[in-house]
Amino acid sequence: MNFRTEVPLPKSALKIDFQDKILSLGSCFASNIADKLSSQKFSVCNNPFGVLFNPVSIKNNIQLLINNIIEPDFKIFEYNNLWHSWFFHENFSTNTQSEIETKIQDTITSVGSYLKEAKILIITFGTAYTYSLKNEDFVVSNCHKAPTAWFKKDRLTITEIIDFYNDIILKIQDYNPEIEIIFTVSPIRHWADGAHENQLSKSILLLAIDEIIKQNAKTHYFPAYEIVLDELRDYRFYAEDMLHPNNVSINYIWELFSKSYFSEKTQKALISIEKINKSILHKPFFPTSDAYKKHIAATVEHCKQAQKDFGIDYQKEIELLKKI
């Protein structure tokens, strides 16, 4: 007997290969999947502006990438003796205005070029709730620990999200006609908004994505939200906060993502990659022993074989192993 309800996987003609560039934007769950892709030797640009929870913040950052230096308004401000941007993570914060402007512009130029060549854009919505400055008419991506009184909280409507993304998808596809977009909804519940409010938020995101995909070519949906909330509904699949998926859960989602979007050849390559990763991470009791030297030599040969069979770049790992 099957004691769980399985979520049907999308039957997609889209197949991701190791040579494809992937840009992942959105919630911290987007980073989880991007980290898995990166660890398996895919070319990934992972949330270069920091975590972005709501659809508007993601759209704003994509717009900046496409515009590049045409509209260099990064919403920069000074607070607590540091310069910040309302559009970017605190990792961008610096001591001077010129420093943060340069840091942001360099990132936009670099990631903009990456988007131009990317085959896959993964967009993960986290919440339909947004925060805006009370005296300004734009959504912030990061509150930078500013006083709560500075902000007003709103909830996006389904129609607003659809309109935003019908517009930005046209611009993305004009910027890069070859790109394919995979939408997901983060399974992480935003409990601080309230139990009922979180359900409303996720429902809005799901309904909006459903309509966006109906109206736009080269767009796809991966049911990460449904997999966690239905197949993995037991708390043993969650971290200690009972909200975030744990590693077991993330690995399971990764397995299903692989089945949906990787060819048989790529899935076969993942088995070799996993073995190589374990070999590289192996910590010997006796680093100078002949046995460990043989282990290193065998690992180098496995890397070379993977390069030959699957076109995976292991040159950096080979050079490091040879120095041991």
Q: Which fold has domain 21-262?
A: Rossmann fold (3.40.50)
DSSP characters for 185-198?
E-----GGG-HHHH
> What contacts 19, CB < 8 A, 6 or more positions away?
43, 311
What residues does each domain of the chain span?
Answer: 21-262, 263-324
| Listed residue (124, 122, 209) closest to 161, CA to CA | 209
pLDDT digits (tens, 9 = 90+) for 150-163: 999 999 999 999 99
Mean pLDDT of all residues in 246-251: 95
Q: How far is CA 125 from CA 83, 129, 182, 251, in A?
A: 27, 11, 11, 20
| CA separation for the pair 47, 28 (Å, rounded) | 9
Spacing of C-alpha 243 from chain mean position: 18
Mean pLDDT of all residues in 169-178: 98
Mean pLDDT of the chain: 94
Is the model more confident about 73 or about 32?
32
Is the model more confident about 74 or about 116?
116
Give the model's pLDDT for residue 28: 87
| CA separation for the pair 90, 88 (Å, rounded) | 7
Q: Which two tokens stand for residue 39?
A: 């660890």
Give the model's pLDDT for residue 71: 58
**Count of Cβ atoms closer than 10 Å to residue 21 Cβ:** 17
Residues in the chain, total? 324
Give the model's pLDDT for residue 10: 85
| CA separation for the pair 114, 108 (Å, rounded) | 10
Q: Is the pLDDT of residue 68 over 80?
A: no
Mean pLDDT of all residues in 210-233: 97
Contacts made by residues 318-321, CB under 8 angstroms, sequence distance 24+ = 321/280, 321/296
197 burial (CB, 10 Å; 0-12 / 13-18 / 19+) is: middle
pLDDT digits (tens, 9 = 90+) for 86-127: 999 999 999 999 999 999 999 999 999 999 999 999 999 999
| Listed residue (256, 262, 197) closest to 232, CA to CA | 256
pLDDT digits (tens, 9 = 90+) for 254-274: 999 999 999 888 999 999 999
Determine contact, residues 64/25, Cβ cutoff 8 Å: no
Q: Is the pLDDT of residue 238 over 60?
A: yes
Angle at 11 between CA 10 and CA 14, to 5 degrees: 100
